């Protein structure tokens, strides 16, 4: 593929996750074909249409989804997203990612995801509360402490989780319902460190990757020039974690645009500006840039922490980072993955990079079931250990293919770029798929 290729890339999430699955399957020595089809399909898709009374007295209809992909390791686990462009296909592919993520960090959950098509920027807080409550009540027993456990995602937060808990609790009185949802406020059964877990996890995974010395000039986070797309929960916490360890945050952005400062920012300054103005754009002593400019900046570490398909076939040639760290879910398309691989730019995939969120969600769930509250240092220590372990696991399998100890499955065509150097995504995915496949067979296919 060359820079002049103009064919349009499909952003169909189901097709893209299927391509990633096929590629990963090359790194698995044995996988039964019937099992492949089972692992690719969601177990259950729930589509809900429901009415909500708006502040002005009108009634608006909303559509919401909850997809349960796989429950071989345990109940479903995955965020709830509020977004005007949400599709059922996207929710399906995000639910699959959750299955692989949970398997990689060895937590007893399957994959799930959900969301409602709505634009929170156009909704009052009470409208958001009514949408959340009605959606939760319509989900009925499709969620539950041992069935499927939601968490926050884009444009939902700990307040949304508190409303979900409260609604579920009202409908299921007399039980310990706290574990029905994670990412709750600490005052209401949330875990210390959950809100920062995804961003802190992004940092721990990156520090471990850099220590592997694949980038000889950048073996620690200190001094690294970092650009971050998206300054929401994940982006802002990631920026602070990197800044604390001596990284130079040269650019950040949100949906309205980005800001750049050659000498770097203190993320705390951006947090207060955004709290006051609703956007990072316009902060004094910064250069305003577009989100596209941000992605193409010359930097050591590029962290997409916003939405999917941001790095694609038509801009992957312009990425100027040494490593792309996928804090968001699916920000790099399969075509871009292959281009970045050809160009020698490492991509650390979402299924390991942002797994800190579900890891601490699991800690919260454990605390809720046992009516305990762990202190912050215990949560953070366990999080760091998990992120380091998963990086080590993926790195050692990746290395075994690079040095030729392991070889790809026979009779399988894979892209030129991957033949030369396997990507961390395919390797991570192959470990996850193998674990879920093995557990499925150990359990035995019922009946």
Catalytic positions, please? 113
Q: Is 17 in the site for ligand NAD (CB under 6 A)?
A: no
The answer to whether residue 253 forms part of the interface with ligand NAD (CB under 6 A) is: yes
Q: How far is the CB of 377 from ligand NAD (least distance, A)?
A: 20
Label residue 213 left, alpha or beta by phi (over 0 means left) and psi (-120 to 50 means alpha): left
DSSP H helices, 4-124, are 13-25, 33-40, 88-104
Sheet containing strand 257-265, strands side by side: 287-289, 257-265, 248-254, 225-229, 301-304, 323-325, 346-348
- Altogether, the residues listed in the chain come to a count of 447
Alpha-carbon span 357 to 361, nearest angstrom: 6
Counting contacts by CB under 6 A, is residue 354 touching ligand NAD?
Answer: yes
Which of the ranges 69-77, 85-93, 132-140, 300-308 carries the binding residues for ligand NAD, by CB under 6 A? 300-308
Nearer to ligand NAD by C-beta: 154 or 390?
154
DSSP 332: B
Q: How far is the CB of 285 from ligand NAD (least distance, A)?
A: 21
CB closer to ligand NAD out of 300 and 326 = 326
Supply the minimum distance, in Å, between the C-beta of residue 87 and ligand NAD. Answer: 14
Q: Is 232 in the site for ligand NAD (CB under 6 A)?
A: yes
Residue placing its CB nearer to ligand NAD in the complex, 111 or 152: 152
- Quick one: CA dihedral 434, 67, 132, 169, positive or negative? negative
| E strand or H helix at 383 | helix 376-402
Phi, psi (rounded to 5 degrees) for 76: -65, 150
Check residue 154 for interaction with ligand NAD (CB under 6 A).
yes
Q: How far is the CB of 78 from ligand NAD (least distance, A)?
A: 9
Interaction with ligand NAD in 32-61: which residues (CB under 6 A)? none
Check if the beta carbon of residue 318 is closer than 8 Å to that of residue 296. Answer: yes
CB 145 within 8 A of CB 172: no
Per CB under 6 A, the list member of 100, 192, 231, 260 interacting with ligand NAD is: 231
Q: Does 296 bind ligand NAD (CB under 6 A)?
A: no
Site for ligand NAD, rule CB under 6 A = 152-155, 198, 229-235, 253-255, 291, 305-307, 327-329, 354, 357
């Amino acid at each position: 593929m060359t820079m002049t290729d103009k064919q349009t890339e499909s952003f169909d999430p189901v097709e893209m996750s299927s391509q990633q699955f096929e590629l990963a399957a090359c790194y698995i020595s044995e996988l039964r074909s019937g099992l492949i089809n089972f692992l690719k399909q969601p177990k259950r898709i729930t589509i809900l249409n429901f009415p909500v009374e708006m502040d002005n007295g009108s009634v608006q209809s909303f559509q919401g989804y909850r997809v349960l992909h796989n429950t071989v390791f345990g109940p479903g686990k995955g965020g709830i997203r509020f977004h005007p462009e949400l599709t059922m296909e996207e929710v399906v592919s995000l639910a699959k990612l959750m299955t692989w993520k949970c398997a990689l960090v060895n937590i007893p959950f399957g994959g799930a995801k959900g969301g409602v098509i709505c634009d929170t920027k156009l909704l009052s807080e009470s409208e958001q509360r009514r949408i959340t409550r009605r959606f939760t009540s319509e989900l009925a027993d499709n969620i539950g402490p041992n069935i499927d456990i939601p968490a926050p995602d884009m444009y939902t937060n700990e307040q949304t989780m508190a409303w979900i808990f409260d609604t579920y609790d009202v409908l299921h009185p007399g039980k310990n319902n706290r574990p029905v949802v994670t990412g709750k406020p600490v005052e209401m059964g949330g875990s210390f460190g959950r809100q920062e877990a995804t961003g802190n996890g992004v940092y721990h995974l990156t520090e471990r990757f850099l220590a592997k010395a694949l980038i000889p000039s950048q073996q620690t986070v200190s001094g690294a020039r970092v650009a971050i797309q998206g300054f929401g929960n994940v982006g802002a916490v990631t920026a602070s974690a990197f800044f604390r360890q001596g990284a130079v945050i040269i650019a950040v952005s949100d949906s309205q645009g980005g800001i750049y400062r050659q000498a770097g920012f203190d993320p705390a300054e951006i947090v207060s500006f955004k709290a006051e103005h609703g956007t990072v754009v316009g902060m004094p002593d910064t250069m305003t840039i577009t989100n596209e400019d941000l992605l193409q900046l010359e930097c050591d570490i590029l962290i997409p922490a916003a939405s999917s398909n941001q790095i694609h076939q038509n801009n992957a040639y312009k990425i100027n980072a040494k490593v792309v760290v996928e804090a968001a879910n699916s920000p790099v398309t399969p075509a871009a993955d292959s281009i970045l691989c050809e160009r020698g730019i490492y991509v650390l995939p979402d299924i390991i990079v942002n797994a800190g969120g579900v890891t601490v969600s699991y800690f919260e769930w454990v605390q809720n079931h046992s009516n305990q509250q762990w202190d912050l240092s215990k949560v953070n220590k366990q999080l760091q250990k998990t992120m380091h372990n998963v990086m080590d696991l993926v790195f050692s399998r990746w290395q075994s293919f690079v040095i030729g100890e392991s070889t790809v499955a026979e009779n399988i065509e894979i892209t030129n770029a991957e033949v030369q150097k396997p990507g961390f995504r395919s390797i991570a995915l192959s470990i996850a798929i193998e674990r879920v496949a093995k557990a499925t067979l150990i359990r035995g296919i019922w009946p």
